Chains A and B, each alone.
Chain A
Amino acid sequence: DQQVKQNSPSLSVQEGRISILNCDYTNSMFDYFLWYKKYPAEGPTFLISISSIKDKNEDGRFTVFLNKSAKHLSLHIVPSQPGDSAVYFCAASSNFGNEKLTFGTGTRLTIIP
């Protein structure tokens, strides 16, 4: 049972435009959400996180939105840059303080110059 879902396996966006990556979850116990970026042959790199007490968190070009009623989160990257081309994973954990992360299957983002 996939508790964290990223329904778009790939996404292509023009350089300079906004990239929106989506993630849905089914476990209502999840209260902490993270986005990681992964290049081939490297480990995931932490991007941004959000706890369930917030609905938005912003860090530079990256903004994560959380809609708890819809069990949906999204990552906005603006403006998109060629270096953003990578696989993006959303992850979730429950009982804030629990190190066990449940990951989505990833979305491959390609930024077109």
Chain B
Amino acid sequence: KAGVTQTPRYLIKTRGQQVTLSCSPISGHRSVSWYQQTPGQGLQFLFEYFSETQRNKGNFPGRFSGRQFSNSRSEMNVSTLELGDSALYLCASSFGSGETQYFGPGTRLLVL
């Protein structure tokens, strides 16, 4: 069974630009969660989607948004990028009822 896949793996953007990251969950998983990992703040929850609906949201500004498609694939978007948005963005999938979350390899975003 294929694991969680994330594209792209690496990305360089400049301040003010916007970026879209993609996540394909494990087949059969309907929940997709997004996390940001930075050296200073550790792993922080961004949001979770289940059956195309945002079910949970972390404490991030509105510049961070996401969506989920009918095939459970998810995208997250960051608009008006800031230097502090440089991080590893991780996606995790699960069946969605408190089941274990499995993580993808992440997208490393560098904002210059």
Contacts and interface: CB of A to CB of B under 8 A. Distances in A.
Q: Do A and B bind each other?
A: yes
Contacts of B92: 43, 101
Task: Please classify how large the interface on chain A is, using the bins under 10, 10 to 19, 20 to 34, 35 or more.
Answer: 20 to 34
Given A42-B105, A43-B4, A49 B100 contact: yes
A97 B101 CA distance: 11
A106 B43 CA distance: 9
A44 B97 CA distance: 20
B98 A97 contact: yes
Majority SS at the chain A contact face: loop
B33 A99 contact: yes
Interface of B: 4, 31, 33, 35, 42-45, 48, 50, 55-56, 58, 90, 92, 94, 96-98, 100-106
Given A43-B4, A104-B42, A106-B42, A99 B102 contact: no
A101 B98 contact: no
Contact of B90 (A44, A91, A104): A44
B50 to A, nearest CB: 7
Contacts of A29: none
Interface string A11-48: 00000000000000000000010101000011111100
25 contacts: A32-B98, A34-B100, A41-B105, A41-B106, A42-B105, A43-B4, A43-B92, A43-B104, A43-B105, A44-B103, A46-B101, A49-B100, A89-B43, A98-B56, A98-B98, A99-B33, A99-B55, A99-B56, A99-B96, A100-B45, A100-B48, A100-B58, A101-B43, A101-B101, A103-B35
